[in-house]
Amino acid sequence: MQFAFFKKYRFECKKCGACCLQRSLSLTDVEYQRLTRIVDHSCYDDIKEYNLTPELHLHDVSFKGKYCHFIEEGKICGIYESRFTTCRLFPLFITALPNGELLVNLMHCNGVSLSQGKLVDESFVRRFIDEANKADPSFLREFISFRKSYHNDLFPFYTSIDRTDFWTKRSFLNRIFKWFAERSPRSKSVDIRIRAVNEVLSEGLSIRLQRLFNRYRLVQPPLVVTSIDIEQMADELEKRLDEKLNKACKDAELKKQHEIKKVFSEGKAEILVKEKPRMFNLNESTTYSTPYLDKIKIKVRNLFIEKPLSNDATQLFEDYLAEVLNRVDHGGFSMDVPIIDILESLFRFSQNILVHAKVYSQESGKIEKDHLNDAIIYLDSRGILGLTTTNVVNEISRARQFRH
């Protein structure tokens, strides 16, 4: 068993109800049949079925009017003793590596900390698995088998037209993070540094992948990129990496300053509300939720006033992004997503985290570790990264169709 996280986290459920506010509920066949017997069809807003294999299906169910049909007053689950597999496993998400070994992702929620609760180790995970297996004995076993088989495929490497294997891609993602954490200027904000890494790789990898296309005299894609090819490309990129990242950071910072100046000159801005863009006048107010579901009102103009991060907050931010890139499947990036889209999604997600941390910092002149931690908890426990990735991929796909 492997863990996608690096710290010795502990978990103790706070019964805050925040984990129940997902946009949909993923159910096994057995669970879906049980749901249809206890909930009238008129309560459903949408039902989507995913046939993973001939024997393995998932049903994504969303309810009308609120997130989960079973939340009762006081944020209590009305069917807690017979709750569904997804609910039993939270804050864990368990998947399988190509060699069949289990990989455990840990979502950050109000109950996850470094000091309180039970240690999230192998025995802790096994207890969660045993509990889920009692509810539906076959599902987890079949799901793990499915993920193992799937992860033995070839996946998009940098773009959708070049492919590599699971281990090589994952290793390169870890190398990207080291470049971000160790080589990009720490004096710059996290979102600036991610954008800079994105731009440096976009230029460098595009050139080198085109050379491979030419070397192999490919008429049409896909290009299968070996681990040796990728290692050579990474070594070449590192030769002038510091110089290129410094320049890219300066360019990204100037671009950000220009965008903020434009917002103030026009007196309006587009911001995300429930992960959907909406146009506001700067003097309007908007509302954000906290991890414990309290509401904070803030003037839109205050979202565009820069605030520095404390050193502790910056370190927490970097640790969290390392975890995200190390996750597989839920809570991280699907292996189907090319790295060019992963970096763009990570950039937008980091901006979203910074906005929430800024909201939580209120009158403070600096974003402290606690502000950032609350932002991570709020966004991570609601799977916002997955929505960001989907939106980015869809936007890029539409742009490509338009160009052609």
Name, in order, each residue with C-beta under 8 angstroms of 398's C-beta and a sequence gap of 6 or more.
none
Please tell me whether residues 213 and 64 are part of one structural domain. Answer: no
Same domain, 66 and 196: no
Residues 145 and 160 in one domain: no
pLDDT in tens, 210-259: 999 888 877 777 899 999 999 999 999 999 999 999 999 999 999 999 99
Give the end of a domain, one of 98, 125, 150: 150
Pair (107, 211) in one structural domain: no
Q: Do 386 and 312 fall within a single domain?
A: yes
Report the C-alpha gap between 394 and 398 in whole angstroms: 6
Per-residue b/e over 236-249, b at no fewer than 16 CB within 10 Å? ebeeebeebbeebb
Give the N- to C-terminal CA distance of the chain in Å, as an integer. Answer: 46
- Percentage of the chain surpassing pLDDT 90? 60
Residue 179 domain boundaries: 154-403
- Do residues 14 and 139 share a domain? yes
User: Over the stretch 257-281, which tens digit does the pLDDT of each residue have?
Assistant: 999 999 999 999 988 877 778 899 9
| Residue after which a domain boundary falls, among 127, 150, 173 | 150
Provide the sign of the torsion angle of the four alpha carbons 47, 48, 54, 55, taken in this order.
negative
The DSSP line for 327-360 is: -BSTTSB-TTS-HHHHHHHHHHHHHHHHHHHHHH
Q: What is the pLDDT of residue 401?
A: 54
Q: How confident is the model at residue 404 (pLDDT cuts 50, 70, 90)?
A: very low
Which band of pLDDT confidence, cut at 50, 70 and 90, is reported for residue 403? very low
Quick one: 141 and 158 in the same domain? no
Q: What is the CA radius of gyration of the chain?
A: 22
Domain boundary among 122, 150, 178: 150
Total domain count, the chain: 2
State the pTM of this model: 0.90
Same domain for 175 and 56: no
Q: pLDDT, tens digit, for every residue of 40-92?
A: 877 878 788 878 777 788 888 888 766 788 887 767 788 888 888 888 888 99
Q: With 0-12 CB in 10 A as exposed, 13-18 as middle and 19+ as buried, what is 50?
A: exposed
pLDDT of residue 402 exceeding 70, the answer is: no
User: 138 and 282 share a domain?
Assistant: no
- 59 and 165 in a single domain? The answer is no
**Comparing 218 with 193, which gets the higher pLDDT?**
193
Answer yes or no: do 396 and 251 share one domain: yes
Mean pLDDT (the chain, rounded): 88
Does 256 share its domain with 324?
Answer: yes
Whether the pLDDT of residue 156 is over 90: the answer is yes
